[in-house]
Amino acid sequence: MDSVTYRIGVVDTTFARVDMGYFAVEELKKCNDVGITRVTVPGMKDLAVACKKLLDGGCDICLAIAMVGPHRLDETCAHEANIGIMNAQLMANKHILSVFVHEVETNDEKELYDICVDRVTKHARNAYLLVAKPEELTKNAGTGKRQGRQDAGPIEVKK
Amino acid sequence: MDSVTYRIGVVDTTFARVDMGYFAVEELKKCNDVGITRVTVPGMKDLAVACKKLLDGGCDICLAIAMVGPHRLDETCAHEANIGIMNAQLMANKHILSVFVHEVETNDEKELYDICVDRVTKHARNAYLLVAKPEELTKNAGTGKRQGRQDAGPIEVKK
Amino acid sequence: MDSVTYRIGVVDTTFARVDMGYFAVEELKKCNDVGITRVTVPGMKDLAVACKKLLDGGCDICLAIAMVGPHRLDETCAHEANIGIMNAQLMANKHILSVFVHEVETNDEKELYDICVDRVTKHARNAYLLVAKPEELTKNAGTGKRQGRQDAGPIEVKK
Amino acid sequence: MDSVTYRIGVVDTTFARVDMGYFAVEELKKCNDVGITRVTVPGMKDLAVACKKLLDGGCDICLAIAMVGPHRLDETCAHEANIGIMNAQLMANKHILSVFVHEVETNDEKELYDICVDRVTKHARNAYLLVAKPEELTKNAGTGKRQGRQDAGPIEVKK
Amino acid sequence: MDSVTYRIGVVDTTFARVDMGYFAVEELKKCNDVGITRVTVPGMKDLAVACKKLLDGGCDICLAIAMVGPHRLDETCAHEANIGIMNAQLMANKHILSVFVHEVETNDEKELYDICVDRVTKHARNAYLLVAKPEELTKNAGTGKRQGRQDAGPIEVKK
């Protein structure tokens, strides 16, 4: 039904404190062969089935975007959400890129915001590469790429 | 079979110390296009299959409502219950909103009660929005909504 | 094939140090519309598939009965067993009531024994109610029912 | 295809430091109505699918035999392996007896060896009973049977 | 479609800081009856579905290769990835050898690099043996083989 070549789902939450879905959409708009479907759910445990429905409905890949609160219960919740996302991928036989930012990653709100923007933007690009140009990822195999902060880079030992 | 547009399942437990199912039903009664099916199970690990049976039987979405006791074993039990709820959603391809209140969230019984009422009421509303007005949720993407306590709000950094 | 209305499976272990299956059977015998199928497996991780086979074979519900040893490895084992029981329920679309008594719940053997008897007896009753009289459970929604010890009761705050 | 009545799969690892599969096979050879299929995989996370393939191929039950190293990562690995074994059982609708010996169970290599031999021998016997004489297990329900060390025995309280 | 006898999938990540996929491919090239398909994904939670797609598409076995960062969140992520890999194997009914190197295994970058090369090379060999010469693995059952470091060896107690 789509006139575009690839359809990418963007699923985020009302729980998150940064509108990460916005940045995902902005990044994907740069790819003129991509159609975007955006859905928002209340919290991170609602992401898996929302993504699965999009994948079953024709999306080629999804971004599952969440911010994880600072408490131990939030971390448990994130773990449960990610187990669901793992299973959803296997049931749909398509990728879902899990884009989770944990409040415990930093004590600084500005830095947290920057992590959100960087991580979701880079993973939006990764989503596109996975479906459209997978060979680009292989060129960077084992090079220590990071999303949310600067790349760790490869360990420099000669082969 | 229903003359209503949407059917929402409300599943709660005899273990909980607050009748949260009551408040879910009261909130959902405000939506005149919604039919409600209420089921009660003994404990939280019984919620997943009870919800799945309702979803398979025609409900569009379910609320899985529980109170988690204060002991470590209770927390483990909640984790197992939530993994089941994740899987039930994926098998039914429909949402189940997990509404769990943990006794460890507060030492004050009155506050615990208030958390229960606030969380289940707001999630009953979320359940309705997910099936009837999903665009309302996207308007609030990334704005730090909370259930059980006041909203965290968005991180204020200009885009 | 059954002349009874409901068939309930009772699955227990040789690992347990109390014959909890006996008490489940005794309680269920009081229901003259119930047929009982009893199976014993070595340990708690064997319960899930044993229950699933009974449910697939016609049982309406199962009790999965275990005693959990006092060591950390026993707790991990119980967690794995319960994850299996969660999945078995979803695959069979029927309830399995998990009746686990943890040795760490008390240091007193007599009290441990009493917890076993109380928990399995009450859950045998719950199993019957779930299949035969579910409305009885809804009457007790949110009232703090406990199995193995006395009820916690509801939090008393006026609605 | 088999002329034997029961076929039992024995799956072990090259990682283990005791040839537990050998002892399983020796014990099962005592049952003249049993055929044995033995498979070896590298590590414990490879056991689940190996067992599932044997069960799908006609085995009535499997033993999944492993030794767990002393590090925290080994314990996590064992947990993942056991979750897989739980799921494999449910998918095949047949039992897999998990026979795991953890190096942390003792600091003494000789005792570790003895635990291995005792546990795998007794569970080989349990595998046979589960498929050939399940009523023998029910006779020992709730009697505190142990594999790897001496039985804990029942808690002695008169009914 | 293949003129080779066996097809082995090699899946690695851009997150890893060593190009482990390269060493897997080099080792597998030594087997002249093997065809190799290499795919690279962003991170370790993307491995499971990538492997499953290769197995569904005709690969006989896959290597899922990852490096796990030093933080607690990285370990949780690895656990989720491995649960997915367990499930992918069961759904495809084929082996996926999980080749994970954890940065916490050593504080020395050179040693970390050596662990990576040794582990992935030995597991590439294991993958070949599993599909082409499984009896070779049984010869080494219970002998304490290790990948990434030297073999632990068997516990020396006479049978």
Hey, is the C-beta of B22 within 8 angstroms of any chain C C-beta?
yes
Strand order in the sheet with D6-13: D34-41, D6-13, D61-68, D96-102
Is B9 in the C-facing interface, judged by CB distances under 8 Å?
A: no
Q: Is the ipTM of this complex over 0.90?
A: yes
Max Cα distance, chain D (Å): 50
Q: Residue C158: what pLDDT?
A: 60
The one-letter amino acid at B41: V
Q: Looking at the complex, report in whole angstroms how far the Cα of residue C143 sits from the nearest Cα belonging to chain D.
A: 30
Q: Sign (positive/negative) of CA torsion A43, A45, A49, A55?
A: positive
Locus of tokens 């415990």: A104
Evaluate if residue A2 carries a pLDDT over 70: no
Residue B2 confidence (pLDDT) above 70: no
Q: Inter-chain contact E140–D14, Cβ cutoff 8 Å?
A: yes
**Residue B1: pLDDT above 90?**
no
Chains sharing 3 or more CB pairs under 8 A with chain A? B, E
In sequence order, the 6+-apart residues with CB closer than 8 A to the CB of A75 are A68, A102, A104, E76
Residue D74 near residue D86, CB atoms below 8 Å: no
Give percent of chain A above pLDDT 70: 97
- Residue in B109, B105, E7 with CA at minimum distance from that of residue A74: B105
Touching check for E106 and chain A: CB below 8 Å?
Answer: no
Q: Do C and E count as touching (3 or more CB pairs closer than 8 A)?
A: no
- Residue B97: its H or E element: strand B96-102
What is the predicted pLDDT for the residue at B157? Answer: 80
Cβ contact A96:A88 at 8 Å: yes
By Cβ distance, the residue of A98, A104, A141 closest to E12 is: A141
- C and D: number of Cβ contacts within 8 A: 108
pLDDT at A159 over 70: no
Q: How does residue C143 score in pLDDT terms, banded at 50, 70 and 90? A: very high
Across the interface, do C40 and D152 touch by the CB < 8 Å criterion? no
Whole-prediction pTM: 0.96
pLDDT at residue A158 tops 70: no
Which of the four pLDDT bands, split at 50, 70 and 90, describes residue C3? confident
Q: Are the C-beta atoms of residues A46 and A12 closer than 8 Å to each other? A: no
Instruction: Assign B122 a pLDDT band (cuts: 50, 70, 90).
Output: very high
Q: What is the pLDDT of residue E157?
A: 80
Contact E143 D17 (CB under 8 A): yes
The nearest CA of chain D is from the CA of E87 a distance in Å of 7
Contact (CB, 8 A) for B83 and B66:
no
Q: What's the confidence (pLDDT) of residue A108?
A: 95
Can you list the domains of chain E with their CATH numbers? Answer: 6-139 (3.40.50.960)
Instruction: Provide the shortest C-alpha distance from residue D31 to chain C (in Å).
Output: 19
pLDDT at residue D157 in the model: 80
Q: Collapse the DSSP code of A142 into the 3-class scheme (helix H, G, I; strand E, B; otherwise coil) and give the result.
A: coil
* Cβ of residue B108 closer than 8 Å to a chain C Cβ: no
Question: What pLDDT is attached to residue E64?
Answer: 98
Question: Which of B97, B153, B155 comes nearest A42 by C-beta?
Answer: B97
Q: Pairing between strand D61-68 and D96-102?
A: parallel
Q: Does B81 touch chain C (CB under 8 A)?
A: yes
Inter-chain residue contact A155 with E18, CB threshold 8 Å: yes
Give the residue from E104, E101, E61 showing the smallest Cα distance to E81: E101
Q: How far apart are CA C103 and CA C67, in angstroms?
A: 7
* Rg over CA atoms, chain A: 16
Q: Is residue C133 over pLDDT 70?
A: yes
A73 closest CB neighbour out of B96, B97, B102: B102
Cα–Cα dist D48/D53, whole Å: 9
The pLDDT confidence band at residue E156, using thresholds 50, 70 and 90, is confident
Determine the pLDDT at residue B55. 98
Residue-level pLDDT at A156? 84
Cβ–Cβ contact B73 with A under 8 A:
no
The structure tokens listed for A19 are 């509108």
Residue E17 has pLDDT above 60, yes or no: yes
Q: Do residues A12 and B142 lie in contact, with contact meaning Cβ atoms separated by under 8 Å?
A: yes
Question: Which pLDDT tens digit goes with each residue over E18-63?
Answer: 999 999 999 999 999 999 999 999 999 999 999 999 999 999 999 9
Which one of A14, A48, A110 has the shortest CB-CB distance to B157? Answer: A110
Residues 6+ apart with CB under 8 A from D96: C49, D48, D51, D55, D61, D62, D63, D64, D85, D88, D89
Distance CA A67, CA B146 (A): 12
Give the integer Cα–Cα distance in Å for C40 and E132: 40
- One DSSP character per residue, B13-42 reads ESS-SS-HHHHHHHHHHT-TTEEEEEEEES
Stretches where chain D sits below pLDDT 50 are: none
| D24 and chain E in contact, CB less than 8 A | no
Q: Which pLDDT band holds residue E158 (cuts at 50, 70, 90)? A: low
Query: Which residue, among D11, D12, D17, D75, would best test binding to E if mutated, counting the most E CBs under 10 Å from its CB?
Result: D17
Residues of B in contact with C130 (CB under 8 A): 41-42, 46
pLDDT (tens digit per residue) in C44-68: 999 999 999 999 999 999 999 999 9
Whole-number pLDDT of residue A157 = 80
B44 touches chain C (CB under 8 A): no
Mutate which: B46, B68, B110, vs C, most C CBs within 10 A: B46
C50 in D contact zone (CB under 8 Å): yes
Nearest residue in D to E89, CA atom: D49
Would you say residue A23 has pLDDT above 90? yes
| Distance separating alpha carbons of residues C63 and C50, to the nearest angstrom | 11
pLDDT digits (tens, 9 = 90+) for E68-111: 999 999 999 999 999 999 999 999 999 999 999 999 999 999 99
Q: Residue B159 above 60 pLDDT?
A: no
What pLDDT score does B156 carry?
84
Say whether pLDDT at C159 is over 60: no
pLDDT of residue C8: 98
**Closest partner residue to B137 among A22, A41, A109, by Cβ?**
A41
Structure confidence by residue, pLDDT tens digits, C11-47: 999 999 999 999 999 999 999 999 999 999 999 999 9
* A155 interfacial to chain B (CB closer than 8 Å): no
Query: How far is it, in rounded angstroms, from Cα D66 to Cα D44?
Result: 6
Q: Give the pLDDT band of residue C98 (cuts 50, 70, 90).
A: very high
Identify residue A54 by its one-letter amino acid code: L
Contacts with B12 from chain C: Cβ below 8 Å? 141-142
Residue B3: pLDDT band (50, 70, 90) is: confident
